[in-house]
Amino acid sequence: MADVTSSGATSAAAMPDLSGSPALILDLDGTVHPGTVGAEVLRELVQTGNASQEAASTALAAISGRADPSASFYATVETVYSQYAAAIDGIPHHALKNAARFAWRTCRRTVFEFAWPVVSAAAQSGYTTVIISGSPLEAVSEASLDLEISHYYGTQVEVTDGHCRARLERAPGHAGGKRGCLDELNERLTLDLGRSLAIGNSVSDIEILTAVGYPITFEADADLAALARARDWPMVDRETALRACMSVISPK
């Protein structure tokens, strides 16, 4: 089942003793897939006439960096989220789900090759795998189903009477958002974070990478790369990611 319930995240200090299974924690955009899946959802919505073209265009410009190249990471996230919410306000939820389905059909063609065997090996080794992404929950659901991942979190919009509203009930891309998702999952499953592996590529992944015993940065942005060098975290790309992940999941 999708992790779509909204409950308060526990703080690190309040976490239970970690004695359960290790986790494989994946980012989606820029890590499993080279682009932003949510951008493809917005393009599909515009193409089918199911979104405000003005708001969607503003969100897409922010995602690509065209809107304000000097904006901070989290300022850009705020712009994307506010314009995404405005773009889908009032549309039928089934239209958003259909757009997500078609968007993932496009995106899956360019999923990084390492993702499939890493997820498979993690399942065989008893890992709990989870995707935590800032892209729409409806698209993250499609990706997780395709990758056979049971636990996932994405940006969740309020739905009333079958229609989307301009309010986000969950926004993992905000500061603290991804860690909140992980804390929520850990509260339910009691994961062994000390033996867990996380892979991410951007600033928003730092709060996950610092929570696990085996952080790996994947084609990291400048800020994350600087932190990775300072902390001596493994830095991988699409050619070396499989070997690095397998050395943790299935060591020889």
Residues 6+ apart with CB under 8 A from 162: 92, 93, 94
Question: Which residue type sits at 220?
Answer: A
pLDDT at site 5? 26
Domain ranges of the chain: 12-249
Strand bridging mode 163-170 / 235-236: unpaired
Mapping DSSP to helix (H, G, I), strand (E, B) and coil, where does residue 223 land? helix
SS3 category, 82: helix
DSSP-assigned letter for residue 146: H
Q: Which two tokens stand for residue 139?
A: 């698209």
Given this model, what pLDDT does residue 66 score? Answer: 76
CA distance 49 to 115: 33
Q: What is the C-alpha to C-alpha distance for residues 102 and 109, in angstroms, rounded to an integer? A: 12
pTM for the predicted model, two decimal places: 0.90
Residue 4 has pLDDT above 90, yes or no: no
pLDDT at 12 over 80: no
Q: What is the pLDDT of residue 13?
A: 36
Residue 6, pLDDT > 50, answer no
Least confident range of 4-8, 11-15, 115-119, 190-194: 4-8
Q: What is the pLDDT of residues 166-213, one digit of tens each?
A: 999 999 999 999 999 999 999 999 999 999 999 999 999 999 999 999
Check whether domain 12-249 has CATH 3.40.50.1000, yes or no = yes
Is residue 142's pLDDT more than 70?
Answer: yes
| DSSP per residue, 162-196 | TEEEEEEEE-TTSTTHHHHHHHHHHHHH---GGG-
Residue with tokens 């924690």: 25
Place of tokens 């922010």: 62
Residue type, 128: T
Cβ atoms 186, 12 nearer than 8 A: no
Alpha-carbon span 130 to 135, nearest angstrom? 14
Q: Which residues on adjacent β-strands are paired with residue 29?
A: 33
The pLDDT mean for the chain works out to 92
